[in-house]
């Protein structure tokens, strides 16, 4: 087994061995079948398999699929840990590299296609000729089956596994990947990119702050850079919903959600110049929408909600606070995405029987808050009832500070290992000085990470550059979109292509055309499939200027 010193030296050696090229990519140097770590000159990488993949259903381009393991060690909990990864190396390589940052608790090697969203219908980076790396971020999410639903986050009981999940896996894999590419093709990548959404978006922020010189471009969706703080929201949501009628799953019906969405539309849809089921001017909406107007009045029993449900929603969207009124995480925007199925899946009810139909935050989210994001960790039961109980008993005065706590065993706090290094006063100094670029996108109806938090981060970054952060980072709000995709939204757009053009040709992205995702079940049936809209860089808003109301060309970013 490799210890901390050994794999630290490997990472340093990899860094020194990478020589980036500035010209055309080289021809393949090594054969795919029979590939070994020794052949690559990387002795501490164990190749588990290497197979040539012809063009097919799961292979948009002929490539070499390599599966391997590295950074093997024994944790403080006595359990084995390592980074499992897969590399997809195109036969017709374009000389570029994509590090695919995955979401959730990681713990599984998602196929290395190079998309920020797994279900996306966009053309993948692999299909465009990029070499793509994916990993499990240093732990196996299925290693503790006896722990039930708490098993996927039990790695949080090991201090170093926490750190690998937070940032070390990206720090370790970045130089390794470039050395791997150089050995396989005979030259390193001309350009290096990182893409991801949710926790993958957070990985992107971490890469930009810790490895600013190593990534030419980063595409980060719904970035959970404040993930431990956002996990506090899980406790708030469950406590508020449970208080309505004692059953989180029945606290808000699907019809209730639709009432909220329709009331928001009634107040705000026209603010962008066209009533089309999309609220583009979210900032203006927050000023005119009055949640109290949704409360049923005497004699009214339709298109309204009981006072206790409205109060719960108001408290949830105000964000968690302690007894002194101090804000512990961000507030949220009122957006029609609240009516979406993805919003419900995360916060209210899931269709998953082993979860007892509890929402994701009450199952996986509860285990993460207990075992990863607080110090010392709390080992929780793996059944839905135990996990819900943990959230219901969570104390925002006594327990919330644990996301900043350390002790003799856990020497880095959750915010220390999860957040970018400069999250409160962002500068991304190395990233900016190197001339590198980042595009961030975030759904305004996201139920997991608040767009307001991302907006506030961007405004802090911009303030540090005299209002000029847009010269290297652009933020795209997506009206109606929930977590990474879904919601009543035009949630299909190719920001990766825009990023590559910005990095390699200096073509700064402006408005971006978004269309309907045929897989999105939250799209109203009244919307024609031909609908397109403009996504505008913050703080601009897409406003209707006349013409075909279903065509993005009829809108302008203002």
Give the span between the Cα atoms of 397 and 476, in whole angstroms. 35
Give the span between the Cα atoms of 31 and 400, in whole angstroms. 53
375 and 232 belong to one structural domain: yes
302 and 412 belong to one structural domain: yes
Above 90 in pLDDT, residue 43?
no
Instruction: Report the share of the chain in percent with pLDDT over 70.
Output: 94
Q: Is residue 46 part of a domain?
A: yes
Q: Is residue 516 part of a domain?
A: no
Average pLDDT over residues 203-216: 98
Which range among 14-28, 50-64, 197-211, 371-385 shows the weakest confidence by mean pLDDT? 14-28
13 and 104 belong to one structural domain: yes
User: Which DSSP symbol is given to 529?
Assistant: T
Give the span between the Cα atoms of 257 and 335, in whole angstroms. 11
Which range among 76-85, 121-130, 320-329, 418-427 shows the weakest confidence by mean pLDDT? 121-130
Give the pLDDT score at 463: 97
Q: Given 417, 439, 461, which residue is the final one in a domain?
A: 417
pLDDT digits (tens, 9 = 90+) for 430-450: 999 999 999 999 999 999 999
375 and 324 belong to one structural domain: yes
Q: Is residue 261 part of a domain?
A: no
Above 50 in pLDDT, residue 177?
yes
49 and 171 belong to one structural domain: yes
pLDDT digits (tens, 9 = 90+) for 237-247: 999 999 999 99
Q: Given 380, 399, 417, which residue is the final one in a domain?
A: 417
Average pLDDT over residues 408-433: 97
182 and 240 belong to one structural domain: no
Give the span between the Cα atoms of 331 and 111, in whole angstroms. 34
235 and 370 belong to one structural domain: yes
Q: Is residue 184 part of a domain?
A: yes
Q: Given 396, 417, 438, which residue is the final one in a domain?
A: 417
89 and 46 belong to one structural domain: yes
Above 80 in pLDDT, residue 96?
yes
Residue 514 near residue 552 (C-beta atoms within 8 A):
yes
Give the pLDDT score at 116: 82
80 and 191 belong to one structural domain: yes
Give the pLDDT score at 118: 62
pLDDT digits (tens, 9 = 90+) for 7-40: 443 443 333 333 333 334 556 778 999 898 888 9
- What is the CB-side half-sphere exposure of residue 336 using CA atoms within 13 A? 26
> In the predicted model, what is the mean pLDDT of the chain?
93
Above 60 in pLDDT, residue 465?
yes
pLDDT digits (tens, 9 = 90+) for 131-160: 999 999 999 999 999 999 999 999 999 999
Q: Is residue 283 part of a domain?
A: no
| Active-site residue set | 198, 446, 483
pLDDT digits (tens, 9 = 90+) for 103-114: 999 999 999 999
249-265 residues labelled b (16+ CB within 10 A) or e (exposed): bebbeeebbebbbbbbb
Q: Is residue 427 part of a domain?
A: no
Average pLDDT over residues 341-356: 98
Nearest to 360 by CA among 377, 373, 342, 378: 342
Above 60 in pLDDT, residue 408?
yes
Q: Is residue 274 part of a domain?
A: no
Peptide bond into 539 cis (omega under 30): yes
Give the pLDDT score at 331: 98
Distances 234 to 227, 360, 362, 395 between C-alpha atoms, Å: 11, 9, 7, 12
Range of the domain at 320: 228-252+290-333+348-417
Above 60 in pLDDT, residue 343?
yes
pLDDT digits (tens, 9 = 90+) for 192-208: 999 999 999 999 999 99
Whole-model pTM: value is 0.94
Q: Is residue 203 part of a domain?
A: no
Average pLDDT over residues 363-373: 98
Long-range contacts of 348-357 (CB under 8 A, 24+ apart): 348/241, 348/248, 348/249, 348/251, 348/252, 348/257, 349/248, 349/249, 349/250, 354/149, 355/149, 355/384, 356/384, 356/385, 357/249
Give the span between the Cα atoms of 426 and 421, in whole angstroms. 8
Average pLDDT over residues 122-126: 91
pLDDT digits (tens, 9 = 90+) for 499-544: 999 999 999 999 999 999 999 999 999 999 999 999 999 999 999 9
60 and 173 belong to one structural domain: yes
Give the span between the Cα atoms of 407 and 269, in whole angstroms. 50
**Bridge partner residues of 440 (DSSP):** 220, 475
40 and 156 belong to one structural domain: yes
193 and 240 belong to one structural domain: no
Tell me how many domains the chain contains.
Answer: 2
């Amino acid at each position: 087994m490799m210890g901390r010193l050994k794999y630290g030296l490997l990472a340093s050696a990899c860094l020194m061995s990478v020589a980036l090229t500035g010209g055309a990519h080289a021809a393949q140097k090594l054969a795919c079948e029979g590939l070994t770590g020794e052949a690559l000159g990387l002795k501490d990488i164990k190749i588990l398999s290497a197979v040539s993949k012809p063009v097919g259903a799961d292979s948009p381009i002929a490539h070499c699929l390599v599966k391997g393991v590295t950074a093997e060690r024994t944790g403080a909990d006595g359990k084995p840990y390592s980074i499992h990864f897969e590399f997809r190396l195109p036969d017709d390589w374009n000389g570029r590299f994509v590090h695919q940052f995955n979401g959730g608790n990681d713990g599984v090697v998602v196929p290395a296609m190079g998309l920020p969203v797994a279900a996306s219908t966009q053309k993948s980076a692999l299909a465009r000729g990029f070499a793509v790396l994916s990993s499990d971020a240093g732990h196996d999410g299925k290693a503790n089956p006896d722990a039930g639903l708490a098993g996927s986050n039990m790695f949080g009981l090991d201090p170093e596994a926490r750190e690998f999940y937070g940032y070390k896996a990206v720090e370790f894999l970045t130089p390794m990947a470039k050395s791997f590419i150089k050995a396989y093709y005979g030259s390193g990548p001309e350009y290096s990119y990182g893409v991801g959404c949710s926790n993958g978006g957070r990985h992107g922020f971490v890469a930009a702050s810790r490895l600013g010189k190593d990534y030419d471009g980063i595409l980060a969706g719904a970035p959970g850079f404040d993930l431990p703080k956002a996990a506090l929201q899980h406790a708030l949501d469950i406590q508020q919903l449970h208080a309505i009628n004692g059953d989180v799953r029945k606290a808000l019906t699907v019809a209730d959600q639709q009432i909220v969405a329709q009331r928001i539309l009634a107040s705000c849809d026209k603010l962008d110049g066209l009533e089309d089921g999309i609220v583009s001017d979210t900032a203006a909406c927050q000023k005119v929408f009055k949640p109290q107007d949704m409360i049923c009045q005497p004699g009214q029993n339709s298109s309204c909600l009981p006072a206790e449900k409205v109060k719960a929603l108001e408290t949830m969207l105000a964000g968690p606070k302690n007894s002194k009124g101090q804000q512990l995480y961000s507030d949220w925007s009122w957006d029609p995405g609240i009516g979406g199925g993805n919003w419900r899946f995360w916060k209210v009810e899931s269709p998953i029987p082993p979860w007892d139909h509890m929402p994701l935050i009450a199952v996986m989210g509860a285990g993460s808050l207990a075992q990863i994001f607080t110090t010392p960790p709390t080992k929780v039961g793996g059944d839905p009832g135990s996990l819900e109980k943990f959230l219901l008993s969570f104390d925002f005065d006594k327990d919330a500070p644990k996301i900043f706590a350390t002790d003799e065993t856990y020497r880095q706090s959750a915010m220390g290992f999860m957040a970018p290094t400069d999250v409160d006063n962002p500068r991304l100094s190395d990233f900016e000085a190197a001339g590198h670029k980042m595009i961030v996108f975030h759904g305004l109806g996201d139920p997991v990470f608040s767009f307001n938090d991302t907006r506030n981060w961007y405004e802090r970054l911009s303030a540090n550059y005299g209002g000029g952060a847009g010269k290297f980072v652009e933020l795209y709000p997506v009206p109606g979109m929930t977590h990474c995709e879904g919601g009543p939204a035009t949630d299909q757009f190719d920001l990766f292509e825009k990023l590559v053009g910005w990095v390699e040709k200096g073509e700064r992205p402006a408005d971006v055309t978004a269309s309907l995702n045929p897989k999105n079940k939250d799209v109203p049936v009244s919307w024609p499939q031909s609908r397109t809209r403009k996504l505008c860089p913050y703080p601009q808003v897409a406003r209707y200027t006349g013409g075909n109301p279903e065509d993005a060309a009829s809108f302008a970013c203002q």
